[in-house]
């Protein structure tokens, strides 16, 4: 009688770490003065001073008509893969956060997969609006820890200019287009330390695009709607709570945070969160002034900017956090 074959199991990874970062912005930079001139032609008054005072935004980037979310995502992904010292063939999971996909289906992640020449690995989109990258990073971390993948490409990519109402100065001045990406890989040493995710559907109406496609026509309104004051009131409180929850899960305290990299929506919200966490403002990574609000792309764009500028170094402890439509919010604490 033959002995039973011995089953050799591969130990599951205990940790995941960010191996590389990347980003891409469309070539067209639109300043507040540029936007004010465009709006003035429609009889809508705004100014650089008005926008900066309320948001901290001075410029944003808009994609041209032929550029899709997947195009931006592919550029950011290639930079992240190169930074990790890998090739596209080394990637075995793609999670893409977006609210502005190329198509109804298939997923923009699958389109990115095709453009990168990657075959066979899981690829899917994740929709949590401006919290999307935090959600996507958490999902990819979980899949790596359960052995589904070893190296994940996690992307946030948006072309929000396509869903803006340029007759509404309260929203059209806020948003921009872009993409950011990281390669997350299995590791023997700690990287992602703790995550904290939430949603509250009671607040669906304060930030939404209340339209859909049916029978070849758009039903409802396909442009962004926002109650800015309601979003502001909710954002500062939930961001502090989520950050503290992630710290508690990791057994860390406020003082352990080297850099706060929040969703880049509004400078006052970002500074308010930093103050609540007792962090000096020079520990706050800010790109909203040049990028505007790029939704799911804003955190990885800011992270890549901070890494490539030399501010964020290996070994630094980072707090990433986002809040967005849904109403969704969450935080990720990690050692970079």
Report the candidate in 239, 318, 243, 238 with the shortest Cα–Cα distance to residue 285. 318
Q: Catalytic residue among 32, 79, 110, 263, which? A: 263
32, 61, 79, 130: which is the annotated catalytic residue?
130
Q: Where are the beta strands (DSSP E) in the chain?
A: 15-24, 28-31, 59-62, 93-97, 123-126, 151-159, 177-187, 192-199, 207-208, 211-214, 217-220, 225-226, 259-262, 317-324, 328-335
What is the DSSP track for 242-309?
A: HHHHHHHHHT--GGG-SEEEE--S-HHHHHHHHHHTT--GGGB---HHHH-B-GGGHHHHHHHHHHHT
Q: Which two tokens stand for residue 147?
A: 């052995």
Tokens 């996909």 appear where? 101
Please enumerate in sequence order all residues whose Cβ is within 8 A of that of 29, keeping only pairs 6 or more positions apart, or say none.
Answer: 59, 60, 61
- Rounded Cα distance, 203 and 198, in Å: 13
Q: Single out the residue of 251, 265, 260, 261 nearest to residue 280, CA to CA.
A: 260
172 annotated active-site: no
Known catalytic residue at 263: yes
How far apart CA 250 and CA 231 sit, in angstroms, is 28
Closest by Cα among 187, 161, 106 to 297 = 161
Q: Would you call 293 a catalytic residue per the annotation? A: yes
* 3-class state of residue 63 by DSSP: coil
Active site residues: 130, 263, 293
């Amino acid at each position: 009688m033959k002995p039973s074959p011995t089953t050799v199991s591969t130990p599951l990874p205990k940790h995941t770490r960010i191996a590389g970062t990347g980003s891409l912005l469309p070539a067209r930079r639109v300043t507040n003065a540029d936007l004010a001139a465009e709006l003035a032609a429609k009889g809508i008054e705004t100014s650089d001073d008005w926008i900066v005072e309320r948001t901290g935004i001075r410029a944003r980037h808009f994609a041209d008509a032929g550029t899709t979310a997947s195009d931006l995502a592919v550029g950011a992904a290639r930079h992240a893969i190169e930074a990790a010292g890998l090739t596209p063939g080394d990637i075995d999971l793609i999670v893409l956060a977006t609210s502005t996909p190329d198509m109804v289906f298939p997923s923009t992640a699958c389109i990115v997969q095709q453009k990168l020449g990657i075959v066979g690995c899981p690829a899917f989109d994740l929709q949590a609006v401006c919290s999307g990258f935090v959600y996507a990073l958490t999902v990819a971390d979980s899949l790596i820890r359960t052995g589904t993948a070893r190296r994940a490409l996690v992307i946030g990519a948006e072309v929000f200019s396509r869903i803006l109402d340029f007759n509404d100065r309260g929203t059209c001045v806020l948003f921009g287009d872009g993409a950011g990406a990281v390669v997350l890989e299995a590791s023997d040493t700690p990287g992602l330390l703790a995550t904290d995710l939430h949603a509250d559907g009671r607040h669906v109406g304060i930030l939404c695009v209340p339209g859909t496609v049916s029978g070849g026509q758009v039903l409802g309104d396909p442009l962004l709607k926002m109650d800015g004051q309601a979003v502001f009131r909710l954002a500062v409180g939930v961001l502090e709570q989520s950050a503290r929850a992630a710290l508690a899960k990791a057994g860390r305290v406020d003082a352990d945070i080297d850099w706060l990299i929040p969703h880049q929506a509004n400078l006052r919200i970002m500074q308010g969160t930093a103050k609540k966490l007792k962090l000096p403002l020079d520990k706050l990574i800010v790109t909203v002034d040049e990028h505007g609000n790029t939704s799911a792309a804003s955190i990885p764009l800011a992270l890549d900017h901070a890494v490539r500028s030399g501010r964020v170094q290996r070994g630094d402890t980072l707090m990433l956090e986002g809040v967005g439509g849904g109403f969704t919010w969450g935080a990720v604490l990690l050692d970079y």
